[in-house]
Structure 1
Amino acid sequence: MQLSQPTVGPIVGYTSEAESRIWLRGDLKLDNGQPRRCFGAVRYRKPGAKQWSDPIFNKLEPHFDMTGVFALKGLARNTPYEYQAGWFFAESELTDVARMDGALFQWPDPRVFNSGSQAANHARSYIVGSCRYVLRLFGGAIFDSRGDKCFRSILSQIDDAKQPQPVDALLMIGDQIYADDKSFLDPASAIDDFLDRYRTAFSQDSIRELMSRVPTYMILDDHEIENNWPSNASPSDRINLYPHAIHAYQIYQCSHSPLFESNAEGRIEGTPTHFWYTFQDGCVDWFVMDVRTERITTPTANRRMIKDEQMKALLDWLSDGSGRNKFIVTSVPFIPDMKSDRNDKWDGFVPDRDRILQHIEKNSIRRVAFVSGDVHCSFTCQLQLSPTLKISQIVSSSFYWPYPHMEENQFDFSGFQTAGPGNYQIKRTSPVYSDDNFARMEASPGTVNITYFGRKGDKLGKTITLAL
């Protein structure tokens, strides 16, 4: 039986030193008005090994847009693996399909990824970015491919043998789609609209190839729902728009994250109660925050960026004594303050920000860096909490934005807003790059080097070294 290539994907998701998640989409075909049963299959091995693993099968359901996640288990640390992934129609139950012999199939060409490492002394390399607009032309009949050039440049770096080390993960930190569309002529409103945006965004050639080879971690920002969500949300938006947007988000971004547990059959299970998550990779502990769906934006002193559960989890994680670098993804910048329009970033939620800063200062927590996107420009800066303690901020945005970008003069690098006792000093540690770009972060214990590259792969300025 010939397995078909995924219609979207495959995407390599959460990857540890013992497990990796593979996501893919099959296809929907109706027979007498009913969807045909569709199944995905994945198998894997170390390159050069004669024997493939037994296939992992999963049913691809219409209510998940014909997608599924496959957990590859029993991996060895920091090791390349090749895998084959595809789908097929069969009028069978999953229990029967799961007994099928992988030798019965003609598999698609193999792809290769690297397993992770949890050794605290292992340096890691990351690609970081956000905000990738897909320009729709002629009513959506044609999609502009310029937004794919950043990913083509990243692939060129990965394939360049002169690079000091391979890329260990790709972090896409918000606005993976623009469901509201800049023109507001045809914003997504129903589930099919959101799903269509994702299929288009994740199917362009270079991003598709990149995500099939490099473990990819995602978190949403506002444009997965609507601009500045939830500040402008009407009661109807919360009832009708939000559930459609979040269902599509869970299918395409959340499902292959560490948020879900995997069972013995290699399938994920459970229903998420939140969207923030953590993972560990070499010398770095990551906390990927959700700073969109938990906001309380009422114009009172009760404004909150995140709920108590996420706040407690973050503070406990900061204080766990792991000794690794602590990288916190927050889709909107933690620092600096904006000179205007402060309601959407952390400077619009000062009590929550103060609580985090005071916890870091009180407990002398070192090696903390915030990693953000959103603002359509890129830079690094640091905040001095005491003579011997500081935190860092790394901003990388946008992958592609065909309109004017933000400039240095829109940020306040001279002061810092706080309601607490701290007398914090902020320092910009790089230029502000107001062009489409991505960041390459090379992390080692206590240090991170950041290099920004333009959409076509040209290096922007010098590499920035931050002592954490």
Structure 2
Amino acid sequence: MNNMLRSPSVGPIVGHTTSTSTRIWMRGSEEAPGRTVGVAALYDAKGNYVAKSACYLRLHREYDRTGVVDFTKLKPNTTYSVRIGSLTLDSTDDMANVEDEELLKKLPKAEALCGDLELLIPEESVATFTTYQDAGEKGLSFIFGSCRYPGLLWAAKKADRIFGSIHEKFQSKGAPQFLLMVGDQIYADKIHRQIPLERADTPSEFHERYVTALSSPNMRALLRSVPTYMILDDHEIEDNWVKGRMDRDADKRLLFQTAISAYMSYQWLHCPRNYGPRGEVQDADGDKLFYSFECNGYPFFVMDSRTQRVRDDKDYVLEDNHLLGYPAKPSAPNYQGQIDILCAWLLSQQKKIGDRPKFIVSPSIFVPNGVETAGTDERSRRKKCEDDSWAAFPETRRQLLQTIVSGNIQNVVFLSGDVHCSNLAKITFTHKTTGQLPLRAFCITSSAFYWPWAFADGDPLSFVHDSKLEGDDFDVNDDVIMSYKAYGFEQDDNFTRIDIVGKEIVVQNYDRNGKALGSKTKVTLA
């Protein structure tokens, strides 16, 4: 039987999901020479078509023929599947310029293509997901990690292995709700940013990186069956990327534009996209890369800690460094920086949900700092300014911590990646005259999914373990000091499962084969 539809060339990917909605992403077939549109339909857990759910979706040419479809008015805590494919459209007039909206109006009703959808190979065209529970403190479980080096030549299968183990965790009893990938989903610069070999710098090369990464067998099976949230770090653009490179070099500006276009096509499209041009909250289709979401009543703010970062690499003036772009200023009251939006979000969440954990996703590690940046001498200062983590951005860190202290914001949990060494840190605050404050915060780092050279970086001894003993406390203001203790370092390829049970966060790392690394760590919340 002939089929009018083709399976996605990449995907489908289950993206942003709530208790009543989901977003499904796909990339159209590579075999189609003309314009393509997507076709999707929703089915219940028994495989029955959900009436009137079939629809078309735009596959944006500017986004490499990728697109998303949103299904709404779903039932909470319910399993569904989506069948999705693409339809090739030809025109007898090569000069015709028909807009997508006009074209979609001319097509037959999407229900007419449900039979064709059901003929596509399920492993290439069916996404399965479970909506979240209604909001409320009912516990939470999720898996997160970062840094998937693609592997060279024969090592490509090794780079994909861990995602099979993650997939198994989502198929078992008591499965987590979602997956969070916190940076370096691709490596545009496989060798080194200064070495042209294996370095992406054209649209087709960036697209190839994503197609290869997202189409590996285990990764593809995982992403089409688990709600997944992503955010970029440096290797989606270039190692240790800062905004100043784009300002100083026209070639770097072109590189940035090319890299971000690919990132938006393959990662950003299926994220919530809920902040507008001035940081205002929108229901959908905002233009900022940072976003927020919640699951089971637990809130998450996912930072863009890469594209806006300002760092003084010339004069080593730490006070001029800003991780999240410039903060707001009195002379421009209608504009907010990302740090201001994050601080306002924290204050609103504390008011809304009290001491329930509030998760901040920061691809760059919040703590622990590297041992070379500890101290206050000139050498440490220069090392801080060269650092790729929060140590290089004291003003951004200070504004955030001052908000936590002044707003009495309990149980802030930073989720980080990047450093190829998983660990956990407990953050405390001490008043210089009255003693330790009752505030608690934490940083959980999970990295790397796959990194073949553990001997080259990520050494646990290269990090500060006790900030008081190693001279790495941080002045929040004139009266309060932040301290931390880090532990549970793990260099093996790994991913991390987080479970919130009552007043505890349970943290467990797993290796590439899904075997537990060490024992579970229980963190007591305030």
TM-score normalised by length of structure 2? 0.81
Aligned to 2:481: 423
- Residues 406, 114 of structure 1: CA spacing in aligned structure 2 closer, same or farther, 3 A cutoff? same
Equivalent residue of 1:424, what SS? strand
- 2:60 aligned partner, one-letter code: E
Can you give the 5+ residue segments of structure 1 that lack an aligned partner in the other structure?
Answer: 262-267
Whether the 8 Å contact between 2:274 and 2:292 is mirrored in structure 1 is no
Aligned to 1:97: 107
Which has the higher Rg, Structure 1 or Structure 2? 2
Please report how far the alpha carbon of residue 104 of structure 1 lies from its aligned counterpart in structure 2 after TM superposition. 4.7
Distance in 1 between the 2:358 and 2:144 partners? 16
Distance in 2 between the 1:417 and 1:27 partners? 54
Q: How does 1:62-461 map to 2 (within 5 A)?
A: 62-91=61-90, 93-97=103-107, 99-100=109-110, 101-107=112-118, 108=120, 109=122, 110-137=126-153, 144-161=156-173, 165-183=174-192, 184=195, 185-230=197-242, 233=245, 234-259=248-273, 270=285, 272=287, 274-298=288-312, 299-300=316-317, 301-307=319-325, 308=327, 309-320=337-348, 321-323=351-353, 324-340=356-372, 341-342=383-384, 343-385=387-429, 386-404=436-454, 405-415=457-467, 416-419=472-475, 420-421=477-478, 422-428=480-486, 430-444=487-501, 446-461=503-518
- Residues 128, 70 of structure 1: CA spacing in aligned structure 2 closer, same or farther, 3 A cutoff? same
- 1:297 aligned partner, one-letter code: R
Higher share in helix: 2
Aligned to 2:49: 51
- 1:257 aligned partner, one-letter code: C
Equivalent residue of 2:320, what SS? coil
Whether the 8 Å contact between 2:201 and 2:258 is mirrored in structure 1 is yes
Whether the 8 Å contact between 1:286 and 1:327 is mirrored in structure 2 is yes
Considering only aligned residues, what root-mean-square deviation do their CA atoms show, in Å?
Answer: 2.1
- Residues 50, 132 of structure 1: CA spacing in aligned structure 2 closer, same or farther, 3 A cutoff? closer
Distance in 2 between the 1:153 and 1:119 partners? 29
- Residues 269, 354 of structure 1: CA spacing in aligned structure 2 closer, same or farther, 3 A cutoff? closer
- 1:411 aligned partner, one-letter code: F
- 2:484 aligned partner, one-letter code: I
Aligned to 1:37: 35
Which deviates further from its counterpart, 327-336 or 152-161? 152-161
Whether the 8 Å contact between 1:57 and 1:98 is mirrored in structure 2 is no
Whether the 8 Å contact between 2:162 and 2:511 is mirrored in structure 1 is yes
Residues 279-332 of structure 1: CA distance to partner in whole angstroms, max 9, x if unpaired? 011141000001101111123322101133211111111111122320000001
Distance in 2 between the 1:456 and 1:279 partners? 30
TM-score normalised by length of structure 1? 0.91
Whether the 8 Å contact between 1:384 and 1:426 is mirrored in structure 2 is yes
Distance in 1 between the 2:502 and 2:55 partners? 37
Whether the 8 Å contact between 1:275 and 1:290 is mirrored in structure 2 is yes
Distance in 2 between the 1:417 and 1:347 partners? 11
Aligned to 2:380: none
Please report how far the alpha carbon of residue 143 of structure 1 lies from its aligned counterpart in structure 2 after TM superposition. 6.7
Distance in 2 between the 1:236 and 1:103 partners? 48
Aligned to 1:16: 18
Distance in 2 between the 1:438 and 1:106 partners? 34
Please report how far the alpha carbon of residue 29 of structure 1 lies from its aligned counterpart in structure 2 after TM superposition. 4.8
Count of residue pairs brought into register by the alignment:
449
Equivalent residue of 1:379, what SS? strand
- Residues 106, 211 of structure 1: CA spacing in aligned structure 2 closer, same or farther, 3 A cutoff? closer
Can you give the 5+ residue segments of structure 2 that lack an aligned partner in the other structure?
Answer: 92-102, 276-282, 328-336, 373-382, 430-435
Which deviates further from its counterpart, 415-424 or 176-185? 415-424
Q: Percent sequence identity over matched residues?
A: 32
- Residues 76, 409 of structure 1: CA spacing in aligned structure 2 closer, same or farther, 3 A cutoff? same
Distance in 1 between the 2:42 and 2:134 partners? 21
Whether the 8 Å contact between 2:473 and 2:484 is mirrored in structure 1 is no
Distance in 2 between the 1:260 and 1:332 partners? 22
Equivalent residue of 1:241, what SS? helix
Aligned to 1:265: none
Whether the 8 Å contact between 1:218 and 1:257 is mirrored in structure 2 is yes
- 1:173 aligned partner, one-letter code: V
